[in-house]
Structure 1
Amino acid sequence: MEEFTLIADLAIIWSAALIAGYICIKAKQPAMAGYMLVGIAIGPHGLKLINQMDQIKVISEFGVAMLLFALGVDLSLRQIVSSAKKILLAGSTQMLLTIAASWWLASTIGLAPNIAAGFLFGCVCAISSSVIISKVLSERGETDSIHGQILIPLALVQDLSLVLIIPFLPVLQETANANYTDFLISAGKAALFLLAIIAGATKVVPHIISFSAKSNNRELFLLTLMVLCLSVALVSQQIGLSIALGAFLAGIMISESPYIHQALTDLMPLRDLFATVFFVSIGMLLDPRFIFSHTLEVLTFVLLLIIGKILIGTLSAFFATRNLRSAILVGVGLAQIGEFSFVLLSLGYDSKLISAAMYNLFFAGAVVTLIASPALMTLMPKLLKKFSALSHQRRTAGLSPTGTNTGGSNGSENDVGNQSESDEDEENVDALNDHVIVCGFGRIGKNVGHVLEAHHIPFIVIELNAGIMDDLAMRAIKHIYGDAVSPLVLDKAHVEKAACLVVTTPDPISTLAIINYAKRCNENIKIVARAHRTEDINAFRAAGASAVVQPEFEASIELTRLALQSLTRPLPEIQVALDRIKKQRYKLFWAQPEEEMRPAS
């Protein structure tokens, strides 16, 4: 029955992952950590339910290839090219500083006996996990947040740097007296491969995808995607790169097609299914006995790695955002080892650039960072919120009950999460009364602003995107450059005198902090908030929001309205039906009856 061993192993992996994932979701913890922990339990170093690791490694490599293929499809060459220069600079700075610091540390403590090992160790430490970053941001509804918009391009810079790093491996294997022929050959292959990717993405692949899509057969469309993915991945492996990197670049090629959304829809089930195998297999490869016998070394490595990457990531991100809170969240998001790091680690071990001891230490530490990273990304916003509240309490010891400053300093501009504009427009801002504060001027905020302008309602915008700030200045719209989570910024917008506060941020923790502070300063203020997730509606209402809007649900209401109109139903009848649906739907998430939510008369 040996021919069925692989099927049995997959059944065990998916069954164990199902149980672990369910427990983690119930405990409100990231499922990825559960997958890796259950991998330790069922693997050859645990209960030994699975021993055929060679087969599992093949499936795992396919899993990470599918993950990175889907990630590449969701990105695009245009997005990479159009990324702000300062974000590209921040990504390059983060990579170089992390490589240099890790190289120096490895050489100092004896982990790297030579320059080659030190450089490889630095490269392995510098790369973060695009998969974990994108998955955690997506689960938390923070993809469109300030730190989310910085984290993903930074992870892109790291992933693409692998194309530059891998050609150096042949040189690292040579002695000091050897020539650089192998390096030139590898670098030339990589350069030609990248040129082929760019040409294919713009000239060839869109036509192939279009031809397949016009067949109106989903099976053929999916087969086309898989053939493109595996073909590019195999070519990548043949020229000395990796299957995972090739799959990622194949995804970027497909991303230029107008059929990208259908491609993502068809890929998601495969991606999620085999991604589970990847995360479980990572746990299976970890030997807990090594951690127990080298506890001090592993913990020291993990702490130095996490702290170092947070500090360097925060410093690099600060160049792009000029906002300490967002920069810290970016640093925390980068504080783990990436899936491409395992590719580099394996290549280095096979090339005898690193020893078995260094390989085991790094692998153990890397898995620990992967398990800990989702929890850190979840915990840090809460810690920053508490720190900001304590800092504001100390700073406002001499303030009046309304929150206005009765004297003294206006607060430090180095407060976590705060970056406010200069005092040039203070007179205009101070003149505001019974105004509307719009937190965030993205797609939703702009629509709100247009309506307020049309009705001549005074309002002020709080925004952290420098590009949007330039547009606001040109249109002579009152604005403050800063993070609305910061009490100092809300004070400057005169939240104590405002009639209404509109919160458009998708981050639930930030939104809750804004609502809480606004209500403390002005109990009569009306607050309209956006909820990315339905479970946030109850919390926002309980905190004092007058109305909470969930964009996806509102979109379904509009679709229903248009559908009924197309059936020529009377408008009054349609409105009554929609009002009833809204009332019933949102009431499900209210902690108290509507009567109790009203302020006491």
Structure 2
Amino acid sequence: MQTVLAQIFGLLLGAVVLVWLFKRVGLPPILAYLATGVLAGSHGIGWMAQSHEIHFIAELGIVFLLFSLGLEFSLGRLMAMRNIVFGLGTLQVIVTSIVLMLILLLLNLSLLTSFTIATLMALSSTAVVVKLLKESGDLKERRGQLAIGMLLFQDIAVVPLLIILPLLAQSSGSEGIAFALIIALTKGAFVCALLWAIGKWILPKVFNEVALMRTDELFVLTTLVVALFAAGLTYLFGLSMALGAFLAGMMLGESQYRHQLEADIRPFRDILMGLFFVTVGMQLDILFVLGVWYWIIAALALMLVLKIGVITLLAQLMGERKQDAIAAGIMLWQMGEFGFVLIALATKHQLLALEHASFLIAIAVMSMGLTPYLIERTPWLLKQFGFLKMPRNKWQQEPTSSILYRNHVVICGFSRVGQTIARFLKPEAIEYVAIERNPILVQETKVAGEPIIFGHVKQKDILKSAGVEHARLVIITFTDFEQTQVVIDAIKQIAPTVKILVRMRDDSQLEALKELGVTEVVPETLEASLMLVSHVLYMSGVPMTRIVRRVSKERRNRYQFLHGFFAGDKFDSEETNADRLEYLHVIALPENAFAVDKNISELNLEKRKVSVRALRRQDREIDTPSVKTILLAGDILVLQGKPRRVERVERYILDGSE
């Protein structure tokens, strides 16, 4: 037991150090995991022994990866990609295998050995490519869809290969192979239909009930059980576990829980994927590589040129752009993780000699290690060969946050307070998106056409789905201080400069929230008291103008920002209380206003000791307008100064009177 703990500790320590080191020098984490495996394996330092259990756990990383990939798809989208999956994917595997097999036959290898090696090299790594696509944001680009479509067919093609290789070793006739393939296809169709039925009618009801419990642990556990159940079901039928996980994710990809499911599965996926790449690295024999390095380099170069050439040619014949075709070829030039399974199977049935197996393992590991480097430099490579006409910054899309929303308001919590805020934002044409964890509320508001996401706002993936990095303001509508702290911390990690407005029951946590970086805190007790005293004074005979003046003064004493207006800079923390009592006033410029078509410097507001704190023009805000900013009809100005000075400046701006 102590030995196992020491091995695991050493593995984690090595992974932490190498991932940090590789990131410092700008290399992908995948290479760090591979290097950790090389050091930890029997061919390196040897502190980690390979075992079936470790490999099985590592394969769960692929299961969760394909589950999260399935969440990005839907049945309709997959059917729309059928030409890529079953057309381009089929041609890529067949043509690549035939060309490689002819080359190997010319090298005097036997027919069975040539067929085995060619089919292994025709497959690519779903784990590497999907992980890199999700990190780079290219998953929804055309080049990413081409790669995913071919990978999906390759995962399906693994199933008949697992059947054919043992039968070839037993020299069964063509009738035996055909019968086995028919049985496999029948089982595959049955399990796919079963998973589709479960995902269509059972899983939505299960997640509805789980979401109503409002328990994070239960939702996470249910997500894990569903992914593992789907993977286990396909495994029992002799199919790939990854295929079952993908189908389950695809069925749930159309549900309102998609974002939350992906956020829950991500930690397990990333950790287990790291373990998977460690186990891949453990299979590389450095001494063997050094002994035949020239043959390995030649084989890598051949595979690189051949697979990119075949994919580019086939994709262009199907009408794809040359740059997308080449980019997809660069993504898929490597050998895949299923190759290790097939190598072991072929070696067991004596279809491959041990030296051939070692050679293929070395090629697989090194090609998977080189892929992140090549994908990252794809725009540069395309530009060098004259295939890329657009700038690099247009090729690379923003990967970390949703681009569906921009310059919008994020409402955390969509109960009565959140819905009230939304009702006021709509007439002003201010875009917003809400995040809510009540499944019934999400379902009802989605039917009503509200832009809402199901999920927990404390998770960064959910905040990114709402585009918090591009938001003008984030509003936290619930009053639980502990939960609010967690949400603010998550927001600040993603968008350090975004303004945050928080609702609280009272002022007791005001200073703590300000230290966390909150822009403004609105206490319910203060607002309730102000509205109550307004009614008391009015019903006691006090004139309404005097009531409004008194209430406005109380609000100005309390809030740093214009009440109900989103723009404006934060006051300096060292300002005196007298400065905080300065009046904030809004002026809308009509077409005939004196200040229209004049810049701010022409108005000489500094001499009048009044400043323009913010300017709102149509759908955008200028927090600190320049003195050279020309004012237009319809602009909304926020003036700051002593009350009488602001009143005089207002008259001057509107009609020019001093």
Normalised by the length of structure 2, the TM-score is 0.59
For 1:286 and 1:175, locate their aligned partners in 2 and report how far apart those are by CA, in whole Å. Answer: 32
Q: Which residue number corresponds to residue 556 of structure 1? A: 471
For 1:330 and 1:178, locate their aligned partners in 2 and report how far apart those are by CA, in whole Å. Answer: 35
1:367 to 365, 368, 373: 365
Query: What one-letter code is carried by the residue in structure 2 that aligns with 1:328?
Result: I
Which sections of structure 2, spanning at least 5 residues, go unmatched? Answer: 400-465, 476-497, 504-521, 528-560, 571-611, 616-625, 627-658
Query: What one-letter code is carried by the residue in structure 2 that aligns with 1:576?
Result: G
2:155 to 159, 173, 177: 159
For 1:327 and 1:287, locate their aligned partners in 2 and report how far apart those are by CA, in whole Å. Answer: 34
Query: What one-letter code is carried by the residue in structure 2 that aligns with 1:334?
Result: L
Q: Is the 8 A contact 1:210 1:259 kept in 2?
A: no
For 1:330 and 1:67, locate their aligned partners in 2 and report how far apart those are by CA, in whole Å. Answer: 20
1:286 to 284, 287, 309: 284
Q: Which residue number corresponds to residue 28 of structure 1? A: 26
Q: Which residue number corresponds to residue 494 of structure 2? A: none
- Shift of the alpha carbon at 1:269? 0.5
2:567 to 570, 575, 594: 575
Matches for 1:450-599 after TM superposition, within 5 Å: 484-485=390-391, 506-507=396-397, 552=467, 555-559=470-474, 570=562, 574-577=566-569
Alignment pair present for 1:213 and 2:128: no
Secondary structure at the counterpart of residue 239 of structure 2: coil
For 2:28 and 2:307, locate their aligned partners in 1 and report how far apart those are by CA, in whole Å. Answer: 21
Matches for 1:330-349 after TM superposition, within 5 Å: 330-349=328-347
Q: Is the 8 A contact 2:88 2:314 kept in 1?
A: yes
Query: What one-letter code is carried by the residue in structure 2 that aligns with 1:187?
Result: L
Matches for 1:54-93 after TM superposition, within 5 Å: 54-83=52-81, 85=83, 88-93=86-91
Between 1:213-222 and 1:13-22, the stretch displaced more is 213-222
Q: Is the 8 A contact 1:67 1:271 kept in 2?
A: yes
Report the CA distance shift for 1:201/1:105 in structure 2 as closer, same or farther (over 3 A). farther
Query: What one-letter code is carried by the residue in structure 2 that aligns with 1:15?
Result: L
1:324 to 322, 325, 335: 322
Alignment pair present for 1:378 and 2:293: no
Alignment pair present for 1:127 and 2:119: no
Query: What one-letter code is carried by the residue in structure 1 that aligns with 2:65?
Result: L
What does the per-residue CA deviation read over 1:352-371, in whole Å, with 9 as the maximum and x for residues that have no partner? 43332222111110001001
Between 1:135-144 and 1:279-288, the stretch displaced more is 135-144
For 2:33 and 2:155, locate their aligned partners in 1 and report how far apart those are by CA, in whole Å. Answer: 23
Report the CA distance shift for 1:290/1:4 in structure 2 as closer, same or farther (over 3 A). same
Matches for 1:162-201 after TM superposition, within 5 Å: 162-177=158-173, 179-180=175-176, 181-201=179-199
Query: What one-letter code is carried by the residue in structure 2 that aligns with 1:333?
Result: M
Q: Is the 8 A contact 2:473 2:566 kept in 1?
A: no
Aligned Cα RMSD in Å?
Answer: 3.5
Q: Is the 8 A contact 1:21 1:34 kept in 2?
A: yes
Report the CA distance shift for 1:185/1:137 in structure 2 as closer, same or farther (over 3 A). closer
Which sections of structure 1, spanning at least 5 residues, go unmatched? Answer: 389-415, 418-482, 487-502, 510-550, 583-593, 595-601
Q: Which residue number corresponds to residue 472 of structure 1? A: none
For 2:205 and 2:398, locate their aligned partners in 1 and report how far apart those are by CA, in whole Å. Answer: 41
- Shift of the alpha carbon at 1:215? 2.6
Q: Which residue number corresponds to residue 114 of structure 1? A: 111
For 1:301 and 1:110, locate their aligned partners in 2 and report how far apart those are by CA, in whole Å. Answer: 16
Secondary structure at the counterpart of residue 559 of structure 1: strand
Report the CA distance shift for 1:553/1:247 in structure 2 as closer, same or farther (over 3 A). closer
- Shift of the alpha carbon at 1:309? 1.1
Secondary structure at the counterpart of residue 75 of structure 1: coil
Secondary structure at the counterpart of residue 92 of structure 1: helix
Report the CA distance shift for 1:125/1:242 in structure 2 as closer, same or farther (over 3 A). same
Residue identity (%) = 27
Report the CA distance shift for 1:303/1:131 in structure 2 as closer, same or farther (over 3 A). same
Report the CA distance shift for 1:352/1:26 in structure 2 as closer, same or farther (over 3 A). same
Secondary structure at the counterpart of residue 576 of structure 1: coil
Matches for 1:400-439 after TM superposition, within 5 Å: 416-417=387-388
For 1:59 and 1:565, locate their aligned partners in 2 and report how far apart those are by CA, in whole Å. Answer: 43
Q: Which has the higher contact order (CA 8 A, sep 6+)?
A: 1
What does the per-residue CA deviation read over 1:559-588, in whole Å, with 9 as the maximum and x for residues that have no partner? 369975996964795322399999xxxxxx
For 2:154 and 2:378, locate their aligned partners in 1 and report how far apart those are by CA, in whole Å. Answer: 23
Alignment pair present for 1:100 and 2:98: yes
Matches for 1:249-328 after TM superposition, within 5 Å: 249-320=247-318, 322-328=320-326
Q: Which residue number corresponds to residue 9 of structure 2? A: 11
What does the per-residue CA deviation read over 1:1-34, in whole Å, with 9 as the maximum and x for residues that have no partner? xx24433322222211111111111111111012
Report the CA distance shift for 1:206/1:165 in structure 2 as closer, same or farther (over 3 A). farther
Q: Is the 8 A contact 2:58 2:279 kept in 1?
A: yes
Q: Is the 8 A contact 1:565 1:571 kept in 2?
A: no
Q: Is the 8 A contact 1:145 1:506 kept in 2?
A: no
Query: What one-letter code is carried by the residue in structure 1 that aligns with 2:326?
Result: I
Query: What one-letter code is carried by the residue in structure 1 that aligns with 2:271?
Result: L
Between 1:166-175 and 1:553-562, the stretch displaced more is 553-562
Report the CA distance shift for 1:190/1:580 in structure 2 as closer, same or farther (over 3 A). farther
For 1:320 and 1:311, locate their aligned partners in 2 and report how far apart those are by CA, in whole Å. Answer: 14
For 2:502 and 2:40, locate their aligned partners in 1 and report how far apart those are by CA, in whole Å. Answer: 56
Query: What one-letter code is carried by the residue in structure 2 that aligns with 1:140?
Result: S
Q: Is the 8 A contact 2:147 2:328 kept in 1?
A: yes
- Shift of the alpha carbon at 1:40? 0.7
Q: Is the 8 A contact 1:229 1:251 kept in 2?
A: yes
Report the CA distance shift for 1:264/1:366 in structure 2 as closer, same or farther (over 3 A). same
Query: What one-letter code is carried by the residue in structure 2 that aligns with 1:148?
Result: G
For 2:368 and 2:327, locate their aligned partners in 1 and report how far apart those are by CA, in whole Å. Answer: 16
Q: Which residue number corresponds to residue 150 of structure 1? A: 146
For 1:312 and 1:577, locate their aligned partners in 2 and report how far apart those are by CA, in whole Å. Answer: 57
Report the CA distance shift for 1:54/1:340 in structure 2 as closer, same or farther (over 3 A). closer
For 2:256 and 2:65, locate their aligned partners in 1 and report how far apart those are by CA, in whole Å. Answer: 21
State which structure, 1 or 2, has the greater radius of gyration over its C-alpha atoms.
Answer: 2
For 1:326 and 1:138, locate their aligned partners in 2 and report how far apart those are by CA, in whole Å. Answer: 17
For 2:145 and 2:173, locate their aligned partners in 1 and report how far apart those are by CA, in whole Å. Answer: 46
Normalised by the length of structure 1, the TM-score is 0.64
What does the per-residue CA deviation read over 1:170-206, in whole Å, with 9 as the maximum and x for residues that have no partner? 5434425474244443333233222223333323333
- Shift of the alpha carbon at 1:485? 4.3
For 2:49 and 2:499, locate their aligned partners in 1 and report how far apart those are by CA, in whole Å. Answer: 57
- Shift of the alpha carbon at 1:231? 2.6
For 2:185 and 2:141, locate their aligned partners in 1 and report how far apart those are by CA, in whole Å. Answer: 37
Query: What one-letter code is carried by the residue in structure 1 that aligns with 2:148?
Result: I
Query: What one-letter code is carried by the residue in structure 2 that aligns with 1:379?
Result: R
Q: Which residue number corresponds to residue 140 of structure 1? A: 136
For 2:41 and 2:233, locate their aligned partners in 1 and report how far apart those are by CA, in whole Å. Answer: 32
